[in-house]
Amino acid sequence: MSEPHLPERLARAITLAGPIPLSQYMGAANAHYYATRDPLGERGDFTTAPEVSQMFGELIGLWLADLWDRAGRPPARYVELGPGRGTLAQDALRAMAKAGLAPPVHFIETSPTLRAAQAERVPDAEWHVDLVGVPDDGALLVVANEFFDALPIRQLVKTAEGWRERLVACQDTLFLPVVGDRSFDSIIPPELRDAPYGSILETSPASVALMRQLAKRLTAQGGAVLIADYGYSGPAVGDTFQAVRGHRFANPFEDPGEQDLTAHVDFATLAEAARAEELIAHGPVEQGPFLEALGIGPRAEALVRSAPARAEEVAEARSRLTEAEQMGSLFKMLGLTAPGWPEPAGFA
Ligand code: SAH
């Protein structure tokens, strides 16, 4: 007997039990989406920074190696959340090895398809579905690029009756957002109480829970985290729930499981969750200035010296990663360090 397709399964669940929270819809859609394909690159749905150029992963590797060196070179593990094709890790590990750091590698990844791609680039990695299996000894050097944006969000909508949760209903085979009955007024920050009707407030309980779990481990074991994603410093109102397919925006309520669903990351809330567990937060700063501070200029020049034929390609990649109207401004970096760890580079 074959499994019914995801849209049919979701439609059946909604018909039986009523509209489901947006977070449940997004979680189910993305789990199916990532499990069944490699979505990255020109021929896929979207291109991430490590797929633009090796410079991105290399500079992150050097950022970690520098911190680790100044922390007194303790035993350490490299941990990456949602490593995609494993490109960032491969580039970072190569750069770290040159700086004398060759840590065991732990990948948090649920997609069998992407685990296979990661194994081609980092064959010695160990895979986990969550942080629980990552050993509790050694400092943790953690990287997450375009990971938190894929975790499920909840949306609250201001109606004439007050704040209500956005749910997903189903009519025939069409999914559509509706508003639930339960009141969420008691959890709305004071500055948003007077927001106009129709305003949307996003939260990501899954992101906050993971952040707290990660922060607890870092406080106990030492280490640092670098989170890179597109986002804002909240709380702010606005609907950032979006779908991308074939490098274009699409309707997120169409074809669940066949397009990438994301929401902008609320960096202020992530930083607050980390601080609640004793971590020190740095930034967020914009990706462009961060990469410039880490030396993407000299790194690009060195690449061109060793391969002059690639001059144009390297220059193009550098501007794509750093220029404000490309990835340089919307994408931001949040650094987190364990108590007693040195000040990280790039956030001054
Ligand atoms: N970091 C990579 C890939 C970004 S795409 C890059 O920059 O290229 C998001 C990644 O997170 C994918 O590897 C996806 O399979 C993984 N992912 C998404 N949701 C996840 C979850 N709940 N648990 C673990 N991994 C998840």
State in Å: Cα 129 to ligand 1 middle.
Answer: 11
Residue 322 resides in a domain: yes
CA-wise closest residue to 29 among 232, 141, 168:
168
State in Å: Cα 156 to ligand 1 middle.
Answer: 25
| CATH value at residue 121 | 3.40.50.150
Residue 185 resides in a domain: no
Residue 201 resides in a domain: no
Residue 345 resides in a domain: no
> In this model, does residue 328 exceed pLDDT 50?
yes
Band of residue 193 on the pLDDT scale cut at 50, 70, 90: confident
Per-position DSSP letters for 104-148, written without gaps between them: -EEEE---HHHHHHHHHH-TT-EEESSGGGS-SSSEEEEEEES-G
> In this model, does residue 1 exceed pLDDT 70?
no
Substitution site in 23, 26, 32, 34 for ligand 1 pocket (most atoms within 8 Å of beta carbon):
34
Average predicted confidence (pLDDT) for the chain: 96
> In this model, does residue 2 exceed pLDDT 60?
no
Q: What is the span of the domain harbouring residue 274? A: 34-149+213-233+267-337
CA distances from 28 to 5, 84, 101, 258 (A): 12, 18, 38, 11
Nearest-angstrom CA–CA distance, 341 and 211: 18
> In this model, does residue 234 exceed pLDDT 90?
no
CA-wise closest residue to 25 among 193, 312, 200, 243:
243
Band of residue 222 on the pLDDT scale cut at 50, 70, 90: very high
Substitution site in 38, 109, 113, 147 for ligand 1 pocket (most atoms within 8 Å of beta carbon):
147
Residue 127 resides in a domain: yes
In the block, which residue shows the tokens 């108590």?
339
State in Å: Cα 191 to ligand 1 middle.
Answer: 33
Q: Tell me the whole-structure pTM to 2 decimals.
A: 0.96
Nearest-angstrom CA–CA distance, 96 and 91: 9
pLDDT tens across 82-103, in order? 999 999 999 999 999 999 999 9
pLDDT tens across 241-251, in order? 999 999 999 99
Residue 296 resides in a domain: yes
Overall number of domains in the chain: 1
State in Å: Cα 150 to ligand 1 middle.
Answer: 7
Nearest-angstrom CA–CA distance, 102 and 276: 31
Residue-level pLDDT at 3: 60
Residue 317 resides in a domain: yes
Residue 26 resides in a domain: no
State in Å: Cα 197 to ligand 1 middle.
Answer: 34
